[in-house]
Amino acid sequence: MTFETLNLIPQILHSLKGKGYLTPTPIQEKSILHILEGKDIIGSAQTGTGKTAAFALPILQMLFTTKATQRKGIKTLVLAPTRELAQQISDSFRDYGRGLHLRHAVIYGGVSQRPQTDALCSGVDILIATPGRLLDLMNQGYVRLENIEFFVLDEVDRMLDMGFINDIKKIITRIPEKRQTVFFSATMPAEIKKLSDTLLHHPVHVQVNPPSSTAINVKQYMYFVQRDLKKALLKNILEKEPKHHTLVFTRTKRGADKLVKSLLADGMKAESIHGDKSQGARQRALAQFKTRKINLLVATDVASRGLDITDITHVINFDLPEEAEVYVHRIGRTGRAGAMGIAISFCGHDERYMMKDINKLSGNKIELVATPTLSHSETRQHASHDKPRIYFSSDGHHREGHSSRHGHSRHRERSLTGGHTSHSERRFPPRHSENNHAESNGNSGNGHSSQPERKFIPRKKKWHGKWQGKRSSHRPSR
Ligand code: AMP
């Protein structure tokens, strides 16, 4: 299929050529004609599938061909969860709509409202907004929605996760009933389905990937590692990848800042983005990352969706997300636009209860990797704590034991599918030519350490770790 067969007008075809798009993506193939026919759409599509163009192109075309500029008021409202996504959608409308003379504006919180209200006062055909700031400006009388013809809700699941449900409901009451609605959500849990039922009229369902599945071109790996060794492991991995362009996720803003500080102290160029940073600082960090002035960006989940940076080579979950679906969105930041991507997760002792759901959602595609031997200074520091560590015995069961005196004991890998893995089945990240991101120190690549395997010494202490999910019925056999 070509863009021409989607009945797009020459001006838009010209813009697409300028962007270098050769053919429509599946979500574009499935949505554009329906939207041009005036139908509502409910779409389940992963990030990076080209869904912005799937709704922006037909909306631009319909506004242009119906001479929208001659009608008063805002005709299109796009709601997005984050400032970054709102800005990216706005950039897309600008790029795809070149030469159409439609006016668009983007509004989000965390920045002065003055330029936004100035833009609104000078007339807007397409408004892209985050719910909070939109409601604020509506209450101040700067935004009126009674002329809306197209209503787009993007990343609805994320908006609900972020607590925007009440804002969205208030906004909806101000939009005319007679309108065309496009509703995109990467995942479709029951609550979202219910919301969509109230908003959409006989919608066409479009789905380009099974909901909540991870991209096939992202290789996924997991390390079991103690919390206090995560930094060392991160550095160990990055040192082996001189050309990496890595997005690292932490659970907290403080964690992101602390990690950046530590990376900078080690001579790595890194920046953080999270909700406590000013919009200016976030944009600067993003720009530095996009232009590769820095190759490490540490983010909280504010950046897990919507960020459109095509050449991220690695996503590293320094902390596992509480919700498995967030995992899907995080790792969707890599492997974009057909490229291969690598997602690496660090699972601490206290995070293992999250593993089951994450692995299930990934289609059991996560490969467990043996933890590399870390540097002497780091391991000595670790050994001095002498905390219990988790080992995998040769029968594949995990057990608790003490770290070795020198901290050189290592985990043995185990299939995350639940059963134990025979040696011949064990897979490791391939070597350099095939995305070798995590070749373990001292490992020959076959999963066996060159150091002698330490014998597991069972402890009499009661097992208190968790495995196989929160309601574990799988106590490890002893
Ligand atoms: P999105 O899912 O809308 O965030 O888009 C992901 C990326 O795909 C963006 O960098 C778009 O510029 C790019 N893209 C969208 N449509 C196409 C297309 N038909 N061909 C190539 N790239 C595309």
The 8-class DSSP code of residue 454 comes to P
Give the residue whose CA is nearest to atom 19 of ligand 1: 24
CATH of domain 3-207: 3.40.50.300
Give the residue whose CA is nearest to atom 12 of ligand 1: 50
1-4: list long-range contacts, CB under 8 Å, 24+ apart.
1/29
Mutation test of ligand 1: which of 3, 5, 12, 21 has the most ligand atoms closer than 8 Å to its C-beta? Answer: 21
Distance from C-alpha of 221 to C-alpha of 226, rounded to nearest angstrom:
16
Q: pLDDT band at residue 306, thresholds of 50, 70 and 90?
A: low
CA–centroid distance, 411 to ligand 1, in Å, is 40
Cβ partners under 8 Å of residue 137, min gap 6: 107, 113, 116, 117, 120, 143
Residue 84 is predicted with a pLDDT of 86
CA–centroid distance, 332 to ligand 1, in Å, is 13
Residue 247: is its pLDDT beyond 60? yes
Distance from C-alpha of 270 to C-alpha of 257, rounded to nearest angstrom:
10
How confident is the model over 314-328, as a mean pLDDT? 88
Residue 356 is predicted with a pLDDT of 81
Phi and psi at residue 51, to the nearest 5°: -70, -25
- pLDDT tens-digit series, residues 206-216: 988 644 456 67
Residue 382: is its pLDDT beyond 50? no
Residue 417: is its pLDDT beyond 50? no
Residues at CB less than 6 angstroms from ligand 1: 21, 24-25, 28, 47-53, 308, 310, 336-337
Closest-CA residue to 446 (of 429, 470, 432)? 429
Mutation test of ligand 1: which of 25, 32, 290 has the most ligand atoms closer than 8 Å to its C-beta? Answer: 25
Give the residue whose CA is nearest to atom 16 of ligand 1: 50
E-strand spans in 172-249? 180-184, 204-207, 218-224, 246-249
Question: Under a CB-based contact definition with an 8 Å cutoff, are residues 32 and 8 in contact?
Answer: yes
Is residue 224 classed exposed, middle or buried when 0-12, 13-18 and 19+ CB atoms within 10 A define those classes?
buried
- pLDDT tens-digit series, residues 222-239: 999 988 899 999 998 988
Instruction: Report which ligand 1 atom has the smallest distance to the Cα of 47.
Output: 2
Distance from C-alpha of 448 to C-alpha of 435, rounded to nearest angstrom:
19
Distance from C-alpha of 436 to C-alpha of 443, rounded to nearest angstrom:
13
Distance from C-alpha of 109 to C-alpha of 302, rounded to nearest angstrom:
13
Distance from C-alpha of 288 to C-alpha of 276, rounded to nearest angstrom:
19
Residue 239 is predicted with a pLDDT of 87
Average pLDDT over all residues of the chain: 77
Instruction: Report which ligand 1 atom has the smallest distance to the Cα of 25.
Output: 19
Give the residue whose CA is nearest to atom 4 of ligand 1: 48
Q: pLDDT band at residue 391, thresholds of 50, 70 and 90?
A: very low
Mutation test of ligand 1: which of 94, 155, 336 has the most ligand atoms closer than 8 Å to its C-beta? Answer: 336
Residue 446 is predicted with a pLDDT of 32
- pLDDT tens-digit series, residues 146-183: 999 999 999 998 898 888 999 999 999 999 999 999 99
CA–centroid distance, 24 to ligand 1, in Å, is 9
Q: How many Å from the N-terminal Cα to the C-terminal Cα in the chain?
A: 59
Cβ partners under 8 Å of residue 370, min gap 6: 410, 411, 412, 413, 428, 440, 443, 447, 449
Residue 431: is its pLDDT beyond 60? no
Residue 246 is predicted with a pLDDT of 95
Residue 338 is predicted with a pLDDT of 66
Residues of the chain with CATH 3.40.50.300: 3-207, 218-379
Q: 0.85 exceeded by the pTM?
A: no
Residue 19: is its pLDDT beyond 90? no
Give the residue whose CA is nearest to atom 13 of ligand 1: 50
Residue 121: is its pLDDT beyond 90? yes
Cβ count within 10 A of residue 91: 15
Q: pLDDT band at residue 465, thresholds of 50, 70 and 90?
A: very low
Closest-CA residue to 390 (of 318, 299, 306, 461)? 461
CA–centroid distance, 49 to ligand 1, in Å, is 6
Instruction: Report which ligand 1 atom has the smallest distance to the Cα of 306.
Output: 4
Q: pLDDT band at residue 62, thresholds of 50, 70 and 90?
A: very high
Question: Under a CB-based contact definition with an 8 Å cutoff, are residues 123 and 114 in contact?
Answer: no
Instruction: Report which ligand 1 atom has the smallest distance to the Cα of 45.
Output: 2
Question: Under a CB-based contact definition with an 8 Å cutoff, are residues 375 and 347 in contact?
Answer: no
CATH class of 218-379: alpha beta
What is the number of alpha carbons within 13 Å of residue 207 lying toward its C-beta? Answer: 8
Instruction: Report which ligand 1 atom has the smallest distance to the Cα of 24.
Output: 19
Instruction: Report which ligand 1 atom has the smallest distance to the Cα of 3.
Output: 19
Cβ partners under 8 Å of residue 362, min gap 6: 213, 214, 220, 327, 328
CA–centroid distance, 336 to ligand 1, in Å, is 9
E-strand spans in 332-397? 341-347, 367-369, 388-392
CA–centroid distance, 53 to ligand 1, in Å, is 7
CA–centroid distance, 325 to ligand 1, in Å, is 22
Residue 71 is predicted with a pLDDT of 93
